[in-house]
Amino acid sequence: MKIHFDIDCTPEEARTFLGLPDVSAMQADVVAKLRERLLTNIEGMEPEALLKTWMPAGVEGWEKMVKGFWDQMGAAPTDKKKS
């Protein structure tokens, strides 16, 4: 035996019927705060600001890093046998 109930109601009516609290005002406040924080943090995502954060010395820091790589490559031992 199957019994099928089809209830047509809005989410607000279902929430009231089940005794659940209405948190829509709190949700709106949280979304507004989240949007505000997101918009302020997006300003720091500009390419120029990111490069300044990642490479504070600018081009000089990049040149030092490249020079360090080349120094390490040049200092690598070689196992070439003299013939």
* pTM, rounded to two decimals: 0.43
pLDDT, tens digit, 9 for 90 and up, residues 7-48: 899 988 999 999 999 898 999 999 999 999 988 888 767 777
Q: Which amino acid is at 61?
A: G
pLDDT, tens digit, 9 for 90 and up, residues 61-74: 778 878 888 888 88
- Return d(Cα 15, Cα 28) in angstroms, integer: 17
Structural tokens at position 18: 């089940």
Structural tokens at position 22: 């209405």
Q: Are 15 and 23 in contact (CB under 8 A)?
A: no
